[in-house]
Homo-oligomer: A and B are copies of this chain.
Amino acid sequence: MSKPSQITLADIATRLKVSKVTISKALRDHPDISSTTKERVKEVAKELGYFPNYFARNLSSKKSGAIGVLVPKIAHHFFSSIIESIYDTALKHNYEVILMVSQEDSRREALHLHTLLSMRVDGLLISVSKMTPDMSIFREIEKLHIPTVFFDRVLNDLSFSTVTTDDVDGAYTLVSHAIEQGFRKIAHLAGYSHTNIGIHRRQGYERALQERGIGIDKNWIIEGGFAEIDGKKGFQKLLRSGNLPEMIFTVTYPVALGVISAAKEANIKIPEQLDIICFGGSDYNKCVYPSITCVEQPAKDLGEKATLLLLQKIINGEGNSEKHLVLPTQLFRGDTCQPRLKKQNSER
């Protein structure tokens, strides 16, 4: 069956023999309308099962009451946590969320952003894909002066507000911890060097090594993506090189799982024969063996802070003031990266 036409203001108006504007105002508690009329209107509205047409309302009021969110992935613990937190925060402030997924594809990114713009969202929350971005769409957004906040994966050469994890510090803390536990040969499965998180985590890694006088071996830095498959590939490359490190620091949690999985296949035991640490964890990490020692990303916090910052821009009209929030990570000590004294003795 075709969709039946739904109840409109006019329906209630004819029923009560008043103008539809009266209905509109009554439902929005406009002072023009007497309280008795308001009551009658609301009663009939409920009785008929009326609910306003979102399109019509927003077309005439020129507000959408919604924020647009663009993420590269959903099925990834980190992003799904952020998304959930964005939804909750937006709801608390009576905003709707329109979510789009680029699937790490920059063409889809542009497509979806256009759709969000056509929906006249009041603001945008964006985390960019890992591909080289198509800058033109972002410049377009810049020109339109739509309140926008980038989170987690940001573009540095644009003048947007950002909410990010303290990637440099997190990586630095984590790798420093590993060094303190006695590890020296630490490889890094890094992210792409054109993404902020890739660059920064690598910087933290390099700084930790340098400060402790450990040389950086370019062969032990392998660039790749952020997914499981990249971990597998990275590990296999290290394995083929015949020069396995004592410790691998991976740019994300999924990459670490990829390494563990590949190591399992290659019959290399973690953490006995090879150890691992990573940037970011998951709720589940603590439940399994080995639980990976990592720095936990403040996913919930990131979503909330980014949303609040955006709402501030929307509501207070602080559209073009540029702010940069950087949130700290927290070290989690799991089963990997345990003190290395015994092993050092037995091996050397």
Contact = CB atoms under 8 A, between A and B. Distances in A.
Interface of A: 1-4, 6, 49, 51-56, 58-59, 64, 73-77, 80-81, 83-84, 87-88, 91, 96-101, 103, 108, 114-115, 117-120, 122, 140, 143-146, 228, 254, 257-258, 260-261, 264, 282-284, 286-290, 317, 319-320
A1 B84 contact: no
B87 A76 contact: no
B286 A289 contact: no
A145 B4 contact: yes
A88 B117 contact: no
Contacts of A54: 55, 115, 118-120
Nearest to A5: B62
A84 B75 CA distance: 6
Contacts of A73: 84
A101 B99 CA distance: 11
A46 to B, nearest CB: 11
A101 B81 CA distance: 12
B51 A114 contact: yes
Q: Which 5 A-B pairs have the closest CB atoms?
A: A261-B287, A288-B288, A257-B287, A80-B80, A55-B59
Contacts of A76: 80
B59 A87 contact: no
B77 A74 contact: no
Nearest to A49: B140
A1 B319 contact: yes
A120 B55 CA distance: 8
Contact of A88 (B49, B64, B103, B282): B103
Contacts of A2: 145, 317, 319
A288 B257 contact: yes
Contacts of A98: 98
